[in-house]
Structure 1
Amino acid sequence: MIVGAGFAGYECARTLSRLAKGAAEIVLLNPHDYFLYVPLLPEVAAGILEPRRVAVSLTGTLPGVRLVLGHAHDVDFDARRVSYTDPEGREGSLSYDRLVLTVGSVNKLLPVPGVAEHAHGFRGMPEALYLRDHITRQIELAGAAEDPAERSARTTFVVVGAGYTGTEVAAHGVLFTDDLARQNTGLRDGPRPRWLLLDVADRLLPGLDERLSRTADRVLRSRGVDVRTRTSVKEATSDGVLLDDGEFLHSRSLIWCVGVRPDPLVDSLGLPTDKGRLCVDKFLGVPGRPEVFACGDAAAVPDLTRPGEVTPMTAQHAQRQGKVAAHNVAASCGQGSPRAYEHRDLGFMVDLGGVQAAANPLHIPLSGPLAGALTRAYHLLAMPDNRIRVAADWLLEAVLPRHGVQLGLLSSWSVPLDTETPEVARLPHDPPETA
């Protein structure tokens, strides 16, 4: 049984299906029926890709795997059962012989007044769809506003967190709003939409190579993004954001990309953790529980390439850990030998929108159109499905104007920042979440 269908869970299920060849029952428990290709989510929010392009069907691409829709909320290790709640609120439980926990991560919260009420994260499809609608709505309302102060506030977008996600959201967002403003008669005489990217670190992409940071900084500033390092949010209100230096930014848009934390299920298991992540050995096994494995963002996997440290929470590691976990589950059932997880990162690629990107494949620094083309090629190869549809959307985006309309399917209330399930929009009949 696999809990979670992110990069780690999806790859684990796919590999196990190939290894088992029908000889074992493989159950995948997940809140929704698709694998989300998160790296392209900023393009959904910016109106480049349609949502289904980055949503890969689990039942359509995982033959031999039984999908159960539900959110896991408890594990009884002695009875070997997982309790869950399905999308209609019904309680259920599933038994297992082997368990792989790949529950992933949720938005990281900081004790900043007003943030939970007025900011929105960027972890799941509902948040991306809400942000696309929200950005479009603010531009349209600004175009109709007679008060210059209101118009300025509605065309000011604040992104907090200049890591991988925040940098891409700002890079795509500024191009999106520029396109929308050009199409809006009320904004043709200005002001131009304003984007700010804030981080407490001393540079963009603080966890990546400095050359990637410099490239991203140069591209964003050339587009007019106000990049502010060593800056944090002191308070958020419905009217804007108060910075730690005392400046108040009048804005209706606060996008929270400060990082992630392991899924709250991990804390409830009663097992040893390391900074909130479940402790595992180099074979991805949970000490004292030989039938339980864990990997991805929820697991503190020892980094054999950097003794004493754990692997970072990246899709690159999660995907490869999922494959190793599958082989080790098979080995625990008598097929093959266990494998220790060891992987050196092969470089990173940051999509900066348009033809721009910052990349260092095999640690060779690249920028500009070449990096952009390589980044898109990598994503097409990495996606398990929908490649032709994604490529078609990219082609249309290159020759047609951006399609900026709001569908109004999700309200601000539906995508709270403080949620255990950012991949599922909150509905009116849902009970309140408890810590």
Structure 2
Amino acid sequence: MVGAGHVGLYAALRMQKKLRSREAEVIVVDPQPHMTYQPFLPEASAGNISPRHSVVPLRRELRHCTIVAGSVTDVSHERKVATVQPIVGPPREIEYDHIIVAPGSVSRTLPIPGLREHGIGFKTIGEAIFLRNHVLDQLDVAAATTDPEVRRRALTFVFVGGGYAGIEALAEMEDMAHDAVRRYYPEISTDEMHWVLVEATNRILPEVDRDMGAYTVQVLLKRKLDIRLGTRLESCVDGVVKLSDGDSFPANTIVWTAGVKPSPMLDFVDLPKDQRGRLTTNASLQVVDGDRVVEGAWSAGDCAAVPDLTGPPGAMCSPSAQHAVRQANRLADNIRAVIRGRQPVDYKHKHVGSVASLGLHKGVAQVYGIKLTGPLAWMMHRAYHLSRIPSFNRKVRVMIDWILAFFLRREVVSLGQLHAPKDEFVDVTPHIDPPPSVPLPPEREPAMSGRR
């Protein structure tokens, strides 16, 4: 199992439950010790839930699987061998009979000047924690300074990308900052904050109908957010944001959420890929080379081009958690069927809709053609994702977080020291030059080498 994201974890959970130990050994390879439930990143970043409760520990949930903490650096399917680079130590080779290649996706970035130096993604739990601490740090900067330019720069927050990730991140972070300023920062007016959404197309939330996207824009505009549709980020050198509409302004916060692309790990896999870099599969989630099935190779999720049997001919499943979770279960069942001498079954699932949070008690939802907005959509968003996050342990912890947040005020303290924990210790510890190395006498080297 290459990767422990939505596909990897759910498939491993199902296989350890459905396969007997004498039938198969399930090996999961991932550099992280946890699976991140990405739909909860906005809530974790806004302080609605604890960041630890949005991740699922692999060793706790996959007790009957072998966990290897490392990265797959090469897959030779002809030999059925995967090369793994552990966190520490030399690489090792792992032989397999079946391989599930599901490393997921990474942020799809563009060659924009300054983006590498000043941008931050929103796809990992580390990025979500950093963004929360950074936004709160900027409020402290603005409250403490007397320089109007420093204040304006600190209170400008730019989000690039109008899909679900961008909209939810923007809405949740603005909601948190607005609440913090109103309660705890008398030096700052909420009108001083400048929240900007930059979207290259002329609509947001393309996963739902246009009227729902238009409603979302109206809600954000009522909150005095700056929505720039049909606009591209052209540069952010030195933190100065330059947009294609000709506007330019400094900002200390630039968040990139403009889509995803398959993991670059697929470059080291000798399996067929399409023009977008995704592994080509058939409807039963087996990797295919044209019409030929590559025996023993499977894939699903964001890194796979899976045919959508509920759509028109040639349609592919969208890179969503909804498809990934269901594909993972079908994939696990198909591997079990092949091991037991049966034929795999095609994956077929009609996308039921989408839900999105726009901050506390605000949301949009379009499920089975039914459109909801406001608190009801927000409750549906929470209920759906609570039902989907793996493990009873995490469901209980998230629910407790929500209950406590209902009665207690949201935490708005920054723990920015997490990102540079050694600075203070280094500052108070004097620098000592290491003593010069003294070579051993030549006549003693052989004796010492022998004792070693």
Q: Same fold (TM over 0.5)?
A: yes
- Could you tell me how far 1:411 is from its partner in structure 2? 4.1
Partner AA of 2:145 in structure 1 = A
Unmatched runs of 5 consecutive residues or more in structure 2: 421-452
- The question of whether the paired residues in 2 share the 8 Å contact of 1:357 and 1:368 is answered with yes
Matches of 1:176 and 1:190, distance apart in 2: 12
Matches of 2:91 and 2:416, distance apart in 1: 31
Whether 1:381 and 2:387 are equivalent positions in the alignment is yes
- The question of whether the paired residues in 2 share the 8 Å contact of 1:296 and 1:313 is answered with yes
Matches of 1:191 and 1:391, distance apart in 2: 33
- The question of whether the paired residues in 2 share the 8 Å contact of 1:181 and 1:192 is answered with no
Residue 85 of structure 1 aligns to a residue whose secondary structure is strand
Matches of 2:317 and 2:339, distance apart in 1: 27
Matched with 1:212 is: 212
Matched with 1:14 is: 13
Matched with 1:431 is: none
- The question of whether the paired residues in 1 share the 8 Å contact of 2:142 and 2:154 is answered with yes
**Which has the larger displacement, 334-343 or 383-392?**
334-343
Matches of 1:114 and 1:200, distance apart in 2: 18
Residue 360 of structure 1 aligns to a residue whose secondary structure is strand
Matches of 1:190 and 1:59, distance apart in 2: 44
Matched with 1:71 is: 71
Partner AA of 1:392 in structure 2 = I
Residue 129 of structure 1 aligns to a residue whose secondary structure is helix
Matched with 1:318 is: 324
Matched with 1:352 is: 358
Partner AA of 2:398 in structure 1 = V
**Which has the larger displacement, 156-165 or 17-26?**
17-26
Matches of 2:134 and 2:170, distance apart in 1: 15
Matches of 2:341 and 2:404, distance apart in 1: 47
- Could you tell me how far 1:21 is from its partner in structure 2? 2.8
Matched with 1:285 is: 286
Residue 78 of structure 1 aligns to a residue whose secondary structure is coil
- Could you tell me how far 1:186 is from its partner in structure 2? 5.5
- Could you tell me how far 1:272 is from its partner in structure 2? 2.5
Larger Rg: 2
CA change 1:72–1:345 in 2 (3 A) is same
Whether 1:394 and 2:402 are equivalent positions in the alignment is yes
Matched with 2:112 is: 112
- Could you tell me how far 1:395 is from its partner in structure 2? 2.0
Matched with 1:200 is: 200
Matched with 2:369 is: 363
Matches of 2:190 and 2:10, distance apart in 1: 48
Residue 311 of structure 1 aligns to a residue whose secondary structure is coil
- The question of whether the paired residues in 2 share the 8 Å contact of 1:44 and 1:128 is answered with yes
- The question of whether the paired residues in 2 share the 8 Å contact of 1:30 and 1:69 is answered with yes
- The question of whether the paired residues in 2 share the 8 Å contact of 1:178 and 1:192 is answered with no
Q: Deviations over 1:98-154 (max 9, x none)?
A: 100111000101121111221111111111111111111111111111111210110
Matched with 2:144 is: 144
Q: How does 1:20-419 map to 2 (within 5 A)?
A: 20-23=19-22, 24-88=24-88, 90-185=90-185, 187-189=187-189, 191-274=191-274, 275-287=276-288, 288-306=293-311, 307-334=313-340, 336-385=342-391, 386-409=394-417, 411=419
Matches of 1:99 and 1:89, distance apart in 2: 23
Residue 265 of structure 1 aligns to a residue whose secondary structure is helix
- Could you tell me how far 1:270 is from its partner in structure 2? 3.8
Partner AA of 2:334 in structure 1 = N
Partner AA of 1:378 in structure 2 = Y
- The question of whether the paired residues in 2 share the 8 Å contact of 1:181 and 1:193 is answered with no
- Could you tell me how far 1:351 is from its partner in structure 2? 1.1
Residue 74 of structure 1 aligns to a residue whose secondary structure is strand
Alpha-carbon RMSD: 1.7
- Could you tell me how far 1:337 is from its partner in structure 2? 3.0
- The question of whether the paired residues in 2 share the 8 Å contact of 1:211 and 1:365 is answered with no
Matches of 1:162 and 1:374, distance apart in 2: 21
- The question of whether the paired residues in 1 share the 8 Å contact of 2:132 and 2:173 is answered with no
TM-score of the aligned structures, taking structure 2 as reference length = 0.87
- The question of whether the paired residues in 2 share the 8 Å contact of 1:174 and 1:223 is answered with no
- The question of whether the paired residues in 1 share the 8 Å contact of 2:137 and 2:416 is answered with no
CA change 1:279–1:409 in 2 (3 A) is farther
- Could you tell me how far 1:256 is from its partner in structure 2? 0.1
Matches of 1:191 and 1:411, distance apart in 2: 29
Q: Deviations over 1:288-319 (max 9, x none)?
A: 52011011111111111221121111111111
Residue 365 of structure 1 aligns to a residue whose secondary structure is strand
Matches of 2:50 and 2:253, distance apart in 1: 22
**Which has the larger displacement, 394-403 or 46-55?**
394-403
Residue 100 of structure 2 aligns to a residue whose secondary structure is strand
Partner AA of 2:14 in structure 1 = T
Matches of 2:402 and 2:28, distance apart in 1: 32
- Could you tell me how far 1:410 is from its partner in structure 2? 5.1
- The question of whether the paired residues in 2 share the 8 Å contact of 1:34 and 1:57 is answered with yes
Partner AA of 2:146 in structure 1 = E
